[in-house]
């Protein structure tokens, strides 16, 4: 935050209308007024009216507005401006305890801020507030600020940041940190157990977090699928409101905790005094404020406000909601309005732990379960469809089909349960049930056929049709079930193996249906509304249902008794299904993780089990490599960029994520013939707020140790945080990120540290079973990619001491085949000379195959331009005959042959040679190819000079110059900029340029060509001409390597190796890896690699031999040193003894002036023997002490 100006701080305070709080229409937001939204009303004009600051009657205002910019303020007093109903005011009404995100503070004491409780933005008097900062919650607040900046600071184009979940993880980490610091991380902690209110608020907080995470997940999916569309705006607003809500809750949680801690310290009175402090100009409802504080402490329903609806709106949202939920919770439960139970259930679900205690019912209501299962099923089907549209590999289809079937089975099981209770009257349900069974069977058949036939894409219509039919059938089924449930009353059911829901022993059926007057709010306004009762904890303390440890035996009974014969449906996977369903009985393993485990067992099974996930994974790997190779090799020339995608297999994990967290957007976007459509939308995802969710939400994460740049890309982080990013469970790691990692990790971590960090990741993710499967698979894949394609024997071998035991023990237990494979790789890697698998050098890189196939191999090579007599002359020369000259050959062919030669070296440059200025090492540099490039380039320059200076006759020299200009022109045509540079360097050198008489013989046409060539290799403005040319250049091309080397040097020098982790608190800021630097390095290297494509010309061995001979001659001859060349130049064309004006050429090249004529004469005098250290000759008289540095 310190380093970057917060975008929120940059937003000028705007005039905001206080409108009716019922409506929020974020979709009407326009980009121009992205910050003016308050309760959905926009005021385009900026009237600049600022209410003058109020003089606080209280003299003890603690907030020092100029001392330090407080990002968060907390209202100390309520503030309700009298004109608050006036539409032209922009002031925010405050209630004591409100937390405000501050965007800017005006010097008059008013601040532009957003109320977390309502999301409303406006002016507020800072003297009514004090800075809000508390150590436990600091990380969370920081994350919220980052999140706000991300949303408000980014245009639509900046939505990229939302495609990964880092920002979500930041908030999650914030909550985790809060709970950690308050010792409430574990539900089992003593504090939580003993303190009901804390317990309740903790659950509510987690519920809010869960809601937020889900919306974020939905948005991510939407973005990934749609590629950014304007509807996303809405989701952003929703996410923001969810985040606000969550933070608000966290603040409340912290308040309670602090008060509790103080009371524990037996100093209760202090706090009471504080909360009872009365502001000097007491606004109307300050008493309620005090009341509310008491409310929070006492947490009893009897303090329920009885104010009117209108008054409620003005109240602090927390309080009003609080009050409302109290009302709800004490209402007598009646079972009459079944039509509403769904919304109620949703509402309950967010805080069901607390509501449990009020009502004897649990969350295992049939209706709730039905809805959850339905959601799960729809989600898996939706994902199935989504996958299918992208025509993924058959292995994935297989996997998703299985998931769909599993969720379908669970759902049908529940439907049967319901049906059992009222058999006689539930014929329709039975029909629906059977229809659904048929449909899922059809789907399975279709999937099976496709899988067997391997003819993917052709039968896709069948598949899509079957899936759609399933959705319809499921909808019917749910509708019927709900009707039945409505008729017989809701009841509790035993849990099924979905793993999403809490597992409980069945209880006697009851009819504890709740009806809430807030029903409408729930169902119609899914959004943040001040008095929205959703997800509020009722005040009475909850009792813990005794289902922390699921009763496995009971479950097994259920599972076996409801054994659907899907064996018939999906014959090959019978084993799998059974296994996985067994596995699912193990409590901590959510379905997918357990699937992985069970499939993992089959890594070692015979090849016939070709449907196991083990194979899926292998397929993925195969597919990926195929993709990458295929992309750059067999398809077409435009697919280079394509290989940036999918370079890491991720499909398995994606599906797993989807399976465990229903995707709200997907669900809502699907048409379902359900009466309860509006209720099963976003809110219903709140269902799964069980124990596992808690684990899920509070997964160990290092996300708070990452730094982002303005574009939302990762610019730094600790090694564990970066590794975590590399192995995320929920998104494919960015290909650039991955390739940067492989390419540069040795610059910021030793191979051993890298391996250890990966192993750590493998271990600690075990604490979060729901993501452990995919993450561990990724860890394995990172190891595999490293060993296969990025291994460097010279420095990585130490890491084997970690990798081999890891593969043989830890990995093999979880993923046996992977473990074996890694162990094999580890044993092979030391023996191998090069990479085991041809490497994908970079994201935009290439493979060896791609080189050969880039240009269609069928295309005929251009015919060499060389005559028989020329070849004969070369042969003659080889056998000691007459020498040949460049004048004897066609410029085009010479250019081609030289380009072939240079291209061979260029294409051999390895990325390692370009790291950490390796090529600059004085000794032992491994950058052999880079050095060969510079040597060749230098040789060419000297060869050009040499050729020109060989000839005594200026006219002949002019002819040679003309030939070289022609060759240079061909170099340009061939896009061989490196050689072009070399030729121009010679022609522009002082040695050649000073040959005035020679240049006089050069035709103006040649000179014009030369001028053009010079303009191409213009080095001014940081090679801007050249850079522009290269930007969209299609290979083959030989760029000037020097620019890359300079760029790499400056990236290395100009960017520090570490950067500071921003921290808002006073604590010391941490240094983390400056990953941005490595990303930049990798980007430059990948730019170079983009051109590592060989030219397709016929090599003429005779010509090559001759050229090589010429280059060697120049390199080895003493005559070719720069000094000797210059000397030779002076011999050929001695300076005019009386030269009043420099030649036009020279005047271009120098700053010389006639005043230095005497000096010049001296130079010329010494010209012949231009000495190495000649300053004592060239000094003017004022120089006193000539020195001869040794």
Partner 1 sequence: MDKLQRRREYHIVVLGAGGVGKSCLTAQFVQNVWIESYDPTIEDSYRKQIEVDGRQCILEILDTAGTEQFTAMRELYMKSGQGFLLVFSITSLTSLTELHELRDQIVRIKDDPLVPLVIVGNKSDLEEDRAVSRSRAFQVSQSWNAPYYETSARARRNVDESFVDLCKQIIRKDMATRQVREMEKLDRGDRHRPGRGGRKRKKKFLDGGNSRCNIL
1007 to 1026, contacts with partner 1 by CB under 8 A?
1019-1022, 1024
Helices (H), 988-1099: 990-993, 996-1001, 1004-1016, 1020-1031, 1041-1054, 1075-1090
Contacting residue, 104, 1046, 1071, 1104, with partner 1 by CB under 8 A: 1046
Q: Single out the segment in contact with partner 1 by CB under 8 A; choices: 91-99, 274-282, 369-377, 1180-1188.
A: 1180-1188
Rg (CA), the chain: 37
Interaction with partner 1 in 697-726: which residues (CB under 8 A)? 709, 715
Contacting residue, 1047, 1073, 1097, 1111, with partner 1 by CB under 8 A: 1047
Kindly tell me which of 941 and 1006 has the beta carbon lying closer to partner 1. 941
Instruction: For residue 950, count CB atoms less than 10 angstroms from its CB and return exposed for 0-12, middle for 13-18, buried for 19 or more.
Output: middle
Contact 249, 204 (CB under 8 A): yes
Interaction with partner 1 in 977-996: which residues (CB under 8 A)? 981-982, 984-986, 988-990
* b (16+ CB within 10 A) / e for 268-294: eeebbeebeeebeeebebbebbbbbbe
Tokens 């707020």, residue?
689
Minimum distance from residue 809 beta carbon to partner 1 (Å)? 42
Contacting residue, 574, 1033, 1122, 1133, with partner 1 by CB under 8 A: 1122
- Is residue 3 a contact point for partner 1 (CB under 8 A)? yes
Print the binding letters for residues 1066-1085 with partner 1: x by CB under 8 A, - otherwise.
Answer: ----------xx--x---x-
Kindly tell me which of 340 and 1080 has the beta carbon lying closer to partner 1. 1080
Minimum distance from residue 235 beta carbon to partner 1 (Å)? 29
- Is residue 1173 a contact point for partner 1 (CB under 8 A)? yes
Q: Which residues lie closer than 8 Å to 1171 by C-beta, 6 or more apart?
A: 1177
Interaction with partner 1 in 742-761: which residues (CB under 8 A)? none
Contacting residue, 763, 917, 1009, 1063, with partner 1 by CB under 8 A: 917
Kindly tell me which of 679 and 1076 has the beta carbon lying closer to partner 1. 1076
Query: How is residue 1068 annotated by DSSP?
Result: P
Kindly tell me which of 37 and 993 has the beta carbon lying closer to partner 1. 993
Contact 665, 219 (CB under 8 A): yes
Minimum distance from residue 1183 beta carbon to partner 1 (Å)? 6
Which uninterrupted H or E stretch holds 221? helix 196-226
Kindly tell me which of 224 and 917 has the beta carbon lying closer to partner 1. 917
Q: Single out the segment in contact with partner 1 by CB under 8 A; choices: 10-18, 124-132, 622-630, 1175-1183.
A: 1175-1183
Interaction with partner 1 in 352-381: which residues (CB under 8 A)? none
Whole-angstrom Cα distance, residue 1027 to residue 1033? 10
Minimum distance from residue 367 beta carbon to partner 1 (Å)? 54
- Is residue 941 a contact point for partner 1 (CB under 8 A)? yes
Instruction: For residue 574, count CB atoms less than 10 angstroms from its CB and return exposed for 0-12, middle for 13-18, buried for 19 or more.
Output: middle
Minimum distance from residue 1130 beta carbon to partner 1 (Å)? 11
Kindly tell me which of 285 and 939 has the beta carbon lying closer to partner 1. 939
Find the angle CA(328)-CA(331)-CA(334) to the nearest 5 degrees. Answer: 115
Contact 417, 366 (CB under 8 A): yes
Contact 49, 74 (CB under 8 A): no
Minimum distance from residue 986 beta carbon to partner 1 (Å)? 7
Question: Both tokens of residue 344?
Answer: 């109620």
- Is residue 1057 a contact point for partner 1 (CB under 8 A)? no
Is-cis flag, bond preceding 846, omega within 30?
A: no
Query: Any bridge partners for residue 105, and if so which?
Result: 111
- Is residue 87 a contact point for partner 1 (CB under 8 A)? no
Contacting residue, 266, 831, 1053, 1140, with partner 1 by CB under 8 A: 1053
Contact 573, 402 (CB under 8 A): yes
Neighbours of 435 (CB within 10 A): 18
- Is residue 669 a contact point for partner 1 (CB under 8 A)? no
Minimum distance from residue 946 beta carbon to partner 1 (Å)? 12
Q: Single out the segment in contact with partner 1 by CB under 8 A; choices: 101-109, 621-629, 839-847, 919-927.
A: 919-927
- Is residue 1056 a contact point for partner 1 (CB under 8 A)? yes
Kindly tell me which of 456 and 1163 has the beta carbon lying closer to partner 1. 1163
- Is residue 1186 a contact point for partner 1 (CB under 8 A)? yes
Kindly tell me which of 753 and 1122 has the beta carbon lying closer to partner 1. 1122
Whole-angstrom Cα distance, residue 273 to residue 276? 5
**Plot region of 266 (φ>0 → left; ψ -120 to 50 → alpha; else → beta):** left
- Is residue 1050 a contact point for partner 1 (CB under 8 A)? yes
Contact 1081, 744 (CB under 8 A): yes
Tokens 């099974």, residue?
605
Kindly tell me which of 397 and 1088 has the beta carbon lying closer to partner 1. 1088
Whole-angstrom Cα distance, residue 333 to residue 714? 51
Interaction with partner 1 in 4-43: which residues (CB under 8 A)? 4
Kindly tell me which of 613 and 984 has the beta carbon lying closer to partner 1. 984
Please name which of 301, 296, 298 lies closest in space to residue 325, comparing C-alpha atoms: 301
Q: Single out the segment in contact with partner 1 by CB under 8 A; choices: 508-516, 755-763, 949-957, 1173-1181.
A: 1173-1181
Minimum distance from residue 931 beta carbon to partner 1 (Å)? 6
- Is residue 1115 a contact point for partner 1 (CB under 8 A)? no
Interaction with partner 1 in 469-488: which residues (CB under 8 A)? none
Interaction with partner 1 in 530-589: which residues (CB under 8 A)? none
Contacting residue, 569, 1045, 1088, 1100, with partner 1 by CB under 8 A: 1045
Whole-angstrom Cα distance, residue 1115 to residue 940? 9
Interaction with partner 1 in 36-75: which residues (CB under 8 A)? none
Helices (H) and strands (E) in the chain, counts: 50, 9
Contact 600, 817 (CB under 8 A): yes
Contact 523, 344 (CB under 8 A): no
- Is residue 828 a contact point for partner 1 (CB under 8 A)? no
Kindly tell me which of 87 and 1019 has the beta carbon lying closer to partner 1. 1019
Print the binding letters for residues 1132-1161 with partner 1: x by CB under 8 A, - otherwise.
Answer: ----------x---x--xxxxxxxx-xxx-
Minimum distance from residue 34 beta carbon to partner 1 (Å)? 24
Concatenated DSSP letters of 1084-1118: HHHHHHHT---------HHHHHHHHHHHHHHHH-G
Contacting residue, 66, 302, 868, 1181, with partner 1 by CB under 8 A: 1181
Size of the site for partner 1 (CB under 8 A): 79
Contact 577, 565 (CB under 8 A): no
Kindly tell me which of 525 and 709 has the beta carbon lying closer to partner 1. 709
Q: Which residues lie closer than 8 Å to 622 by C-beta, 6 or more apart?
A: none
């Amino acid at each position: 935050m310190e380093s970057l100006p917060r975008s929120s701080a940059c937003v000028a305070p705007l005039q905001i209308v206080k409108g009716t709080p019922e409506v929020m229409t974020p979709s009407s937001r326009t980009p121009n007024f992205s910050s003016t939204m308050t309760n959905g009303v926009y005021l385009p004009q900026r009237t600049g009216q600022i209410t003058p600051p109020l003089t606080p009657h209280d003299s003890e205002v603690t907030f020092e507005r100029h001392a330090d910019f407080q990002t968060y303020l907390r209202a100390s007093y309520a503030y309700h401006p009298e004109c608050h109903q006036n539409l032209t005011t922009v002031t925010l009404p405050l209630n004591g305890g409100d937390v405000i995100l501050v965007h800017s503070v005006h010097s008059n004491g008013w601040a532009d801020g957003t109320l977390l409780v309502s999301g409303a933005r406006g002016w507020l008097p800072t003297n009514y507030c004090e800075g809000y900062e508390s150590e436990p919650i600091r990380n969370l607040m920081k994350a919220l600020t980052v999140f706000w900046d991300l949303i408000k600071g980014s245009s639509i184009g900046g939505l990229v940041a939302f495609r990964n979940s880092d920002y979500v993880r930041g908030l999650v980490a914030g909550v985790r940190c809060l709970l950690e610091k308050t010792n409430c991380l574990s539900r089992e902690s003593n504090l939580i157990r003993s303190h009901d209110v804390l317990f309740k608020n903790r659950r509510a907080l987690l519920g809010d977090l869960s809601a937020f995470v889900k919306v974020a997940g939905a948005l991510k999916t939407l973005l990934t699928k749609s590629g950014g569309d304007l509807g996303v705006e809405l989701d952003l607003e929703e996410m923001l409101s969810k985040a606000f809500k969550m933070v608000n809750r966290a603040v409340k949680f912290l308040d309670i905790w602090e008060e509790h801690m103080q009371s524990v310290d037996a100093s209760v009175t202090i706090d009471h005094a504080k909360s009872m402090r009365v502001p000097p100009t007491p606004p109307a409802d300050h008493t309620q404020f005090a009341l509310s504080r008491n409310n929070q402490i006492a947490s009893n329903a009897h303090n329920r406000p009885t104010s009117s609806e209108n008054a409620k709106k003005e109240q602090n949202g927390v309080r009003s909601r609080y009050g409302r939920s109290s009302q709800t919770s004490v209402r007598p439960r009646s079972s009459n309005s079944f039509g509403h139970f769904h919304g109620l259930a949703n509402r309950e679900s967010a805080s069901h732990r607390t509501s449990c205690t009020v009502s004897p019912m649990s969350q295992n209501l049939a209706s709730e379960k039905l809805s959850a299962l339905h959601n799960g099923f729809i989600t898996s089907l939706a994902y199935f469809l989504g996958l299918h549209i992208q025509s993924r590999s058959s292995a994935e289809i297989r996997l998703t089909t299985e998931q769909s079937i599993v969720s379908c089975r669970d759902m049908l099981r529940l439907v049967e349960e319901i049906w059992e209770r009222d058999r006689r009257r539930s014929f329709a349900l039975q029909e629906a049930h059977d229809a659904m069974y048929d449909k899922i069977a059809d789907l399975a058949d279709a999937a099976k056929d496709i899988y067997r036939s391997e003819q993917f894409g052709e039968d896709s219509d069948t598949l899509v049709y079957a899936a759609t039919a399933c959705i319809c059938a499921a909808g019917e089924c749910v509708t019927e079930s709900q009707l039945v449930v409505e008729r017989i009353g809701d009841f509790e059911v035993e849990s099924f193996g979905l793993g999403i829901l809490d597992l409980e022993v069945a209880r006697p059926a009851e009819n504890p249906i709740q009806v809430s007057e807030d029903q409408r709010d729930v169902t119609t306004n899914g959004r943040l509304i001040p008095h929205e009762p959703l997800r509020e904890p009722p005040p009475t303390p909850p009792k813990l249902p005794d289902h922390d440890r699921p009763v496995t035996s009971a479950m097994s009974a259920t599972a076996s008794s409801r054994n659907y014969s899907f064996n018939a449906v999906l014959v090959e996977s019978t084993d799998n299904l059974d296994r996985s369903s067994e596995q699912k009985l193990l409590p901590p393993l959510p379905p997918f993780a357990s699937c992985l485990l069970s499939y993992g067992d089959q890594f070692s099974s015979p090849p016939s089990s070709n449907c196991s996930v083990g194979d899926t994974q292998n397929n993925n790997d195969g597919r990926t490599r195929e993709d990458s190779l295929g992309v750059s090799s067999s398809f077409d020339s435009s697919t280079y960029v394509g290989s940036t995608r999918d370079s890491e297999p991720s499909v398995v994990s994606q599906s797993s994520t989807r399976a465990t967290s229903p995707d709200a957007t997907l669900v809502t976007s699907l048409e379902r013939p359900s009466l309860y459509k509006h209720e099963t939308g976003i809110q219903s995802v709140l269902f799964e707020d069980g124990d596992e969710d808690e684990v899920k939400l509070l997964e160990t994460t290092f996300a708070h140790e990452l730094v982002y740049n303005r574009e939302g890309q990762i610019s730094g982080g600790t090694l564990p945080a970066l590794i975590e990013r590399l192995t995320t469970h929920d998104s494919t790691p960015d290909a650039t990120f991955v390739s940067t990692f492989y390419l540069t990790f040795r610059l910021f971590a030793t191979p051993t540290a890298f391996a250890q960090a990966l192993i750590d990741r493998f271990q600690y993710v075990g604490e979060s079973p729901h993501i452990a499967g995919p993450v561990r698979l990724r860890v394995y894949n990172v190891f595999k990619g490293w060993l296969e394609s990025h291994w460097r024997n010279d420095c990585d071998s130490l890491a084997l001491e970690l990798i081999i035991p890891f593969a043989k023990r830890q990995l093999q237990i979880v993923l046996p085949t992977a473990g074996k494979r890694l162990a094999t790789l580890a044993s092979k890697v030391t023996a191998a000379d090069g990479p085991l698998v041809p490497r994908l050098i970079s994201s935009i890189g290439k493979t060896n195959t791609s080189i050969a196939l880039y240009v269609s191999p069928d295309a005929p090579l251009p015919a060499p331009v060389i005559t028989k007599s020329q070849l004969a002359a070369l042969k003659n020369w080889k056998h000691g005959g007459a020498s040949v000259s460049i004048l004897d050959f066609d410029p085009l062919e010479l250019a081609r042959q030289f380009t072939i030669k240079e291209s061979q070296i260029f294409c051999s440059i390895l990325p390692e040679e370009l790291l950490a200025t390796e090529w600059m090492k004085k000794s032992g540099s491994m950058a052999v190819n880079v050095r060969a490039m510079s040597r060749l380039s230098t040789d060419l320059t000297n060869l050009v000079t040499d050729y020109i200076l060989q000839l005594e006759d200026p006219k002949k020299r002019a002819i040679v110059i003309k030939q070289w200009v022609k060759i240079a022109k061909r170099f340009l045509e061939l896009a061989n900029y490196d050689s072009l540079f070399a030729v121009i360097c010679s022609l522009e050198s002082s040695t050649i340029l000073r040959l005035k008489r020679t240049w006089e013989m050069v035709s103006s046409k040649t000179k014009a060509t030369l001028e053009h060539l010079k303009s191409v290799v213009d080095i001014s403005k940081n090679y801007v001409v050249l850079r522009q040319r290269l930007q969209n250049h299609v290979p083959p091309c030989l760029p000037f390597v020097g620019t890359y080397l300079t760029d790499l040097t400056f990236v290395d020098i100009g960017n520090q190796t570490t950067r500071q982790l921003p921290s808002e608190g006073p604590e010391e800021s941490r240094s983390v890896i400056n990953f941005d630097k490595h990303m930049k390095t990798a980007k430059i290297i990948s730019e170079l690699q983009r051109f590592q494509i060989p030219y397709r010309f016929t090599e003429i061995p005779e010509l090559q031999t001759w050229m090589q001979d010429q280059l060697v001659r120049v390199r080895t001859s003493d005559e070719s040193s720069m000094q000797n060349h210059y000397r030779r130049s002076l011999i050929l064309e001695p300076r005019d003894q009386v030269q009043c004006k420099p030649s036009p050429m020279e005047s271009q090249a120098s700053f010389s002036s006639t005043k230095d004529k005497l000096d010049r004469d001296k130079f010329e005098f010494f010209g012949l023997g231009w000495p190495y250290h000649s300053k004592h000759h060239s000094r003017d008289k004022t120089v006193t002490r000539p020195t001869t540095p040794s």
